[in-house]
Homo-oligomer: A and B are copies of this chain.
C-alpha cells in the first residue's frame, strides 16, 4: 500500500480494530474515523465490512464535503455525521460510533447518564447528554448530515463544550465520541460504556441515588484535567 495517507489509514484501521477488542461492537455495528487537518481529509471505515476481514488498505479517504479522495470501497453510511463534526469542530482529531449495549440502552431510554461517581468525574463534569430524536422532516432529509446538526444543537441547548464533553448519546440510536485522535475517540467510547453501565447498576440498587456533589466533581476532574493536574506522567 503506497499512499500519501498510509499512516492516516493505519491510525484509522487500528482504532477500528480496538472497537472489537474492547467489546464495543458486534459484526459491523460501528465505525471510527481519523482526520488529517493539514490535508483537509479524513479516513473512515468502509461500510458493512466485518472487523475480521478489514485491512488498512480498505480504509476510505474523503474530504470534508464527502468526496472520496482515495479508496475503492463505499465509506461508512455514517460518513456525513463525521464530516459535519470535523468541519464544525476544527480541534478534534478522531470520531467513534458504536452500538455498545449500555450506551444504546440509555439512548433508547432517552435519558442523560447522570454523574453518580468519580469514574464519571475523572472524565467529564456534566451528565452525558442524550440528544432528543430528530424531527420527521430532518429524518427524511439528509439524515446523517442532520445527525451532525442534531449533535451540535444538543450541545448548544445544554450549553456544553465539545472539548470538555467528548461524548453524546443520540436518542433511540447510540453513542458518538471524539477526541484529539482516533485512539482517544475509542477510549472515550469505552469510558462512556463503563460509566453508562455503572449508572445503570447504581439506579437498580438505589432508584433515589444522588448526583455527585459539585466539590467532588470538580476535585476529580481538576486533578486529571485542571491546570494543576497531577494525574498521569
- Tell yes or no: A205 within 8 A of B by CB: yes
Contact of B106 with A205 in the complex, beta carbons under 8 Å: yes
Copies in the complex: 4
- Considering the complex, which residues of chain A in the window 84-136 have a beta carbon less than 8 Å from any beta carbon of chain B? 99, 101-102, 104-111, 116-119, 122, 133-134, 136
- Considering the complex, which residues of chain A in the window 189-233 have a beta carbon less than 8 Å from any beta carbon of chain B? 190-191, 194, 197-206, 209-210, 212-213, 215-216, 219, 223-224, 230-233
Contact of B105 with A230 in the complex, beta carbons under 8 Å: no
Q: Which residues of B contact A101 (CB under 8 A)?
A: 194, 197-198, 201
Interface residues of A (CB under 8 A from B): 26-27, 29, 46-49, 73-74, 77, 99, 101-102, 104-111, 116-119, 122, 133-134, 136, 139-140, 143, 172-174, 187, 190-191, 194, 197-206, 209-210, 212-213, 215-216, 219, 223-224, 230-233
